[in-house]
Amino acid sequence: MPCGGGDIGLNVWVEKGSLYVYMARSGSFDENNGLMKEGRLRLDFTPNIFDGKNFKQELHLQEGYVMVSSENNGITATVKIWADVFSPVIHLDINSNKKITTTAAYESWRYRNRILQPMENFANSWKWAAPKNNVCRKDDIGFTGDAVLFYHHNTTVTIFDTTVSEQGMEAVKDSMYNPLKNLCFGGVFSGSNFSSNGTYEGVYVDTDFKGWKLKSNQPSRQQSLQVYFHTAQVKNLDEWKFSIDSLKKSTEKNSEAAFKNTVAWWQQFWNRSFVVINDGDTNGIAGEAGRNYQLFRYMLGCNVKGTWPTKFNGGLFTVDPLFTDSAAKLTPDFRNWGGGLHTAQNQRLVYFPMIKNGDWDAIHAQFNFYLRILKNAELRSKVYWNHSGACFTEQMENYGLPNFAEYGLDRPALLDKGVEYNLWLEYLWDTSLEFCLMMLEEQRYTGKDISDKISFIESCLTFFNEHYKYLAEKRGAKIFDENNKLVLYPGSGAETFKMTYNSTSTIAALTTITKRLLELPAGYLNEADIKKWKEFLKTIPPMSYQSFDGHTTIAPAKLWARINNEESPQLYPVFPWGIFGVGKSGLDTAINTFTYDTSVIKFKNYIGWKQDNIFAARLGLTNEAWRLTSLKLKNSGRRFPAFWGPGFDWTPDHNWGGSAMIGMQEMLMQVDDKRILLFAAWPKNTDVHFKLNAPYNTTVEAELKHGVVTFLKVVPEIRRKDVEVLLNNL
């Protein structure tokens, strides 16, 4: 089961009498840009406390820790595993009614250089284009006194350098943000009254490893072990070691206070928002949905202070790949679709639910990801086309360039260097606008000053304004069409509708973000900016429509050349852009699109990143919203019920959980500026008690019992007048 806090994720389990812990931390990228585990812990006890009866392993959600307890021959013992939310430290607290001896080991499969199997490179940024016999460099691991020191220090040359060269960006390389060069990640494993006890080797699942043992100096009833982590880009390793020594000294004597503060943090986390179905009864479809919603939110909360976003393809909780794909006999570092590579269409589904949950501290990791790579994205536009604006691609590295393999190795000589030679990804540039929306929502929801994000939002809009004028000038004598609108060609409707003319998803995005930018309170934009964006708004072309069996529907674009994937971007004006929805004009057209569009019908599903449940909820289609959302939130079939996947990606599938969470939120509460619509797509026969966040520093707590709203609390009270109870039954 998962455990974590701050930016640390742990997998905890007991097997054959031994306690195991996989350790992961946000930002542990190697030279290949894989997101690496920090290693594995193994704890054994003499006498063996886990070789008896009454074994129990519990995840305490409210307090954020895992407790493993057992009884054997009169010895009762517990091991409490927790991560400090405020410092990068793992604690293992052992308590027993009689004295026992503990042997604790740090285990690593990166004790030697490993030649990566071809499939294994799909966990990093080489994918199918890795050099022959590509190597994962070994870590440095050894005893330092009575502790185990382990770290991976990247070389100065990484896949970043190869990617820059491939994509013709050498001229500006020295100006570019590079998060991989000289990155050092790792930690120290130690325990009070523990001493080093030698090494051993073995094989776990499919992977050989080496272990470094610590052993308690004498049997005791109370014992504790800690792992201290540090990550930094340093040329001099002594600087990194000094920092981790300082962390150890400043935190090792404050365990009790740290645990108290961590528990307090988790409790306020759960007070921000919640969804409890059928009074917390976990039986049946509704019970599973209610419980698993909370379990997934806990997993997201474990990276609340991460420097880097929670990855859609497993987050911090991946395990040995064999348990996801029986053919993947690879190391525990493996996950499909990359480690430092971020796929925006997937990432957005992980982060949108944090808005109504009120988890703004967690969402900042995703915001900061984009702010860090803004300059590199702007350099792309300058180098390739000599115009302004940030060109963000769909599958994008943590340094803001397209993936090395996906960019296209066998590119035609005359192909625009700024365009990916890729059936799925070419001209797909609009997903960054969804993160602009999240940034604007922070201001609307919380009132926080987002001045530091305005340049990012404007740069994203500027790219489309500049680039499609640039393309029009290359094609002919006029930059606008006959109606003085931009010609958004070539474009893309997600990864599905390709070579589009006026993609609906792009039009909806540009329209919404420009309007929202102009709606910001006074002081964010000067008069010249306001005039500029009002003029730009006038040039955005209208959405297109089509017809099925006489029913008018939203078209994915004015024209398109082919269909590649299985997404429904013609419904993006419903979500995320909110142009159509309950209580808004054109609802019948949007419902027609969901109901009659043959590609929407063909692609409709609940697996993975599919967001049909969200569309149904926003359209007030109660029965369909509940069917799809409850299918998403049903038990995963794995030992931990919220480890969904692999879906289209990997296990645990975080965009599966994120889309499920969004769907449930939208069923319960939809917002339209100041309007708050309750139960717009919630089944009357399902009892629920929820608390969610709404715009303008508002929280709404409501309870529905037997089809009747029995409790409603709106803070501040003045916002109650904006609440509408709908209880649609479609």
Alpha helices in 173-309 (DSSP H): 237-251, 255-272, 284-301
Cα distance between residue 582 and residue 540, in whole Å: 25
Tell me which H or E stretch contains 160. helix 159-166
Tens digits of residue pLDDT in 81-127: 999 999 999 999 999 999 999 999 999 999 999 999 999 999 999 99
Going by C-alpha positions, the residue among 540, 37, 607 that lies closest to residue 311 is: 37
Residue 54's pLDDT is: 87
Query: How many other CB atoms sit within 10 Å of the CB of residue 245?
Result: 14
Q: In Å, how far are 103, 253, 266, 440 from 223, measured between CA atoms?
A: 11, 14, 25, 48
Give the β-pairing of 274-277 and 688-694: antiparallel
Q: Residues 496-505: pLDDT tens digits?
A: 999 999 999 9
* Exposed e or buried b per residue across 368-379, where buried means at least 16 C-beta atoms within 10 angstroms of its C-beta: ebbbbbbebbbb
CA distances from 635 to 287, 536, 622, 640, 651 (A): 10, 47, 21, 8, 14
Q: pLDDT-derived band of residue 252, with 50, 70 and 90 as boundaries?
A: confident
Q: Are 141 and 111 in contact (CB under 8 A)?
A: yes
The residue ranges of every structural domain in the chain are 2-270, 359-555
What is the average pLDDT across 699-706?
97
| pLDDT > 80? residue 729 | no
Which tokens belong to 159? 């896949």
Task: Give the CA-trace dihedral at 582, 583, 588, 594, to 10 degrees.
Answer: -10
The model's confidence at residue 52, banded by pLDDT at 50, 70 and 90, is confident
Percent of the chain with pLDDT over 70: 100
pLDDT tens per residue, range 224-241: 999 999 999 999 999 999
Coil, helix or strand for 661? Answer: helix
pLDDT of residue 538: 98
Backbone phi and psi for residue 250, each to the nearest 5 degrees, phi listed first: -80, -15
Q: How far from each other are the two terminal CA atoms of the chain, in whole angstroms?
A: 38
Are residues 692 and 356 in contact, defined by beta-carbon separation less than 8 angstroms?
yes
Take residue 300 and report the two structure tokens written for it: 């997201």
Query: Is 1.50.10.10 the CATH classification of the domain at 359-555?
Result: yes
Name residue 224's beta-bridge partners: 93
Helix extents (H) in 597-653: 598-603, 612-618, 622-632
> Which pLDDT band, with edges at 50, 70 and 90, does 144 fall under?
very high
**Per-residue confidence band for 277, with pLDDT thresholds at 50, 70 and 90:** very high
27 with 308: CB under 8 angstroms?
yes
Contact 197, 103 (CB under 8 A): yes
Residue 642 tokens, joined: 């919220």
Spatial neighbors of 565 by CB under 8 A, at least 6 apart, are: 424, 494, 495, 496
The token pair at 410 is: 């066998």
Q: What angle do CA 383, 182, 316 make, to 5 degrees?
A: 95
Residues pairing with 491 in the sheet:
500
**Contacts made by residues 584-592, CB under 8 angstroms, sequence distance 24+:** 584/672, 587/619, 587/620, 589/545, 589/552, 589/553, 589/554, 590/554, 590/619, 591/619, 591/621, 592/548, 592/551, 592/552, 592/553
- DSSP for 282-345 reads --HHHHHHHHHHHHHHHHHHTTTT-SSPPPTTTTT----GGGT-TT----TT--TT-SSEEEHH
Whether CATH 3.10.110.10 fits 2-270: no
Looking at residue 51, its pLDDT comes to 84
Amino acid occupying residue 270:
W
Q: Which two tokens stand for residue 181?
A: 């060069």
For the chain, the C-alpha Rg in angstroms (whole number) is: 26
Per-residue pLDDT band at 253 (split at 50, 70, 90): confident
